[in-house]
Amino acid sequence: MPDGIPNLFIEPDCEHNCLVKKGCLNPTIGDLVKSCALQGSQSVLLPVSDAAHLVYGNPECVQNSWRILESKLTELQQFPLIFSMGYKYTDIVLNDKNILQNAICYIAEHFKPSCIFVYTPCINAIATDDLKATCEKAEEICTVPAVPIYNSGSNTGANMGCRQAGEALFEKVVGTATKEPLKLTLFDMNLIGGDSFSREGDQIEAILSKIGVRVLSRIGGECTFDELRTAHHVKLNMLISSRSMLTLVRKMRESYGIPYFEGSFYGSREIRFSLMQIAFFFQNPELDKRIVRYMRREEVLLRKDISRSYKSLKGKKIVLFTDGIESWTFISMLYELGMKIVAIGTNQNAQEDISRIKERMKEKTVLIDHSDENKILTLYRERKAELMIVSRRNSYVPLKEKIPFLDVDESQHRIYVGYEGVRRFAKDLLDTLEQPIWKIICRVSPWEVDSYGEC
């Protein structure tokens, strides 16, 4: 790691920071990670609508994450300006910093972005000692902010990439506004998310607007560069279903006195907790009344819709086989719909994700950390489950076994946050269970039995 770059594996505000072999330890050679640090950093910074992004490496670093990066954009958002240096072996050996400086100035002159984020992937990790100086020199020449993002290389995952992006935002962006923001209100706050926070920002902001709370900036969601620069004017920060940006909110609390809390909007129980936390921090009687009235009204309507339209889901047995925050965000919603979670299998989860699972699951639910395909299939059959909820690569397990499943990967399915999200989730579960394909695929081939259609 270059000199002067903080060790982001150490986070005082994380309850698992001091535990031996339980904190955010550095993966060893051969460990499997879901995605690299570059992808994590870009998932936070790509939604900045008026910024340009320069990868100080080879084109494959951008092409490898193309599907993931594309899924982070909203339907109305313009595809971001992403550039690559086209690095080759000779470039690494020569290590000519003028090439990078000229590339930054070229982008600033021809595309006029408000800011240029410069990423260093693992291919040139040994040549990043002067990246900060190069960006500062290019910034003086072209008068466009150039923010270096130090991605540690192949020994870290997406969560660490989010932390590195948050560190760069705090050092070079937050608090650097040259003009005053819009007229501030009594209830201004920031929404801050990590690798999984992308399209759900609009839904959360809509809920907050109904109770009179204004979102000044969405870090990790769609925003502008000026909004990021004025993010220090708020009175409260909220972490959305992620702890990868914990270092950023801690430093904003220490530097600007902005308190923070962690919340989620998946299910009525999580929404109630998040809104009550907002009421606690703002300490305003009128806001308290609006929040209580809003929650009471929405919860009554939701319970009526569940009992009327989705009552057939009650008692259905579910197996969760997911990674990351999907391992715990859907637990409250499943219980709210009256479903039974018989087993939860996880892979590559952080310790805080495991803690959240244990807080939410019931006693009869079996939790298997570092679960594999055989273990989860055995539990599915032994517990006589009727549906498997999966995400990302885990979707291949029920697909091969011809088991009913719902893939909750946000790039493939609708957003499930908020009260409307619970209704969407219930509808998708019901549609999956009622699909006739699950009965059709169990049929034996006609040449294997006397009568076609027998199972």
Q: How are beta strands 188-192 and 214-219 bridged, if at all?
A: parallel
Q: Tell me the range of 19-28, 175-184, 424-433 where mean pLDDT is highest.
A: 424-433
Query: In this model, does residue 187 exceed pLDDT 90?
Result: yes
More confident residue, 454 or 312: 312
- β-strand partners of 406: 389
Domains of the chain, earliest start first: 37-172 (3.40.50.1980), 188-305 (3.40.50.12380), 311-440 (3.40.50.1980)
Q: What is the pLDDT of residue 21?
A: 45
Token pair 């084109």 is found at 59
Query: In this model, does residue 193 exceed pLDDT 50?
Result: yes
Task: Average the pLDDT over 256-276 and give the result.
Answer: 93
More confident residue, 319 or 41: 319
94 pLDDT band (50/70/90 cuts)? low
Distance of alpha carbon 110 from alpha carbon 112, whole angstroms: 6
SS (H, E, C) 201-263: HHHHHHHHHHCCCEEEEEECCCECHHHHHCHHHCCEEEEECCCCCHHHHHHHHHHHCCCEEEE
| Tokens at 342, concatenated | 């018989």
Distance of alpha carbon 47 from alpha carbon 301, whole angstroms: 33
Distance of alpha carbon 221 from alpha carbon 11, whole angstroms: 23
Q: What is the pLDDT of residue 79?
A: 67
Q: Tell me the range of 177-181, 337-341, 372-376 where mean pLDDT is highest.
A: 337-341
SS (H, E, C) 261-324: EEECCCCHHHHHHHHHHHHHHHCCHHHHHHHHHHHHHHHHHHHHHHHHHCHHHCCCEEEEEECC
Per-residue DSSP letter, 77: S
22 pLDDT band (50/70/90 cuts)? very low
Token pair 């982070």 is found at 72
184, 188, 193, 199 alpha-carbon torsion, rounded to 10°: -80
57 pLDDT band (50/70/90 cuts)? confident
Closest by CA to 194, choosing from 233, 171, 220, is 220
Percent of the chain with pLDDT over 70: 79
Q: Rounded to two decimals, what is the model's pTM?
A: 0.85
Collapsing DSSP states into helix, strand and coil, what is residue 405? Answer: strand
The answer to whether 57 touches 123, Cβ cutoff 8 Å, is: yes
Token pair 């057939």 is found at 312
Q: What type of residue is 111?
A: F
- β-strand partners of 149: 119
Q: Tell me the range of 236-245, 331-340, 354-363, 393-402 where mean pLDDT is highest.
A: 331-340
Distance of alpha carbon 161 from alpha carbon 149, whole angstroms: 9
Distance of alpha carbon 65 from alpha carbon 69, whole angstroms: 6
SS (H, E, C) 5-42: CCCCCCCCCCCCCCCCCCCCCCCCCCCCCCCCHHHHHH
DSSP 107-154: HHHHH--SEEEEEE-GGGGGG-TTHHHHHHHHHHHH-S-EEEEE---T
The answer to whether 24 touches 11, Cβ cutoff 8 Å, is: yes
Distance of alpha carbon 214 from alpha carbon 223, whole angstroms: 14
Neighbours of 32 (CB within 10 A): 8
**C-alpha separations of 61 from 54, 79, 116, 196, 363 in Å:** 11, 17, 17, 20, 44
Distance of alpha carbon 349 from alpha carbon 228, whole angstroms: 29
Round the average pLDDT of the chain to a whole number and report it: 82
Closest by CA to 404, choosing from 380, 418, 388, is 388
125 pLDDT band (50/70/90 cuts)? low
Residues 6+ apart with CB under 8 A from 388: 318, 319, 320, 321, 376, 380, 397, 398, 403, 404, 405, 406
Q: What is the pLDDT of residue 228?
A: 92
Distance of alpha carbon 319 from alpha carbon 330, whole angstroms: 11
Largest CA distance in the chain: 81
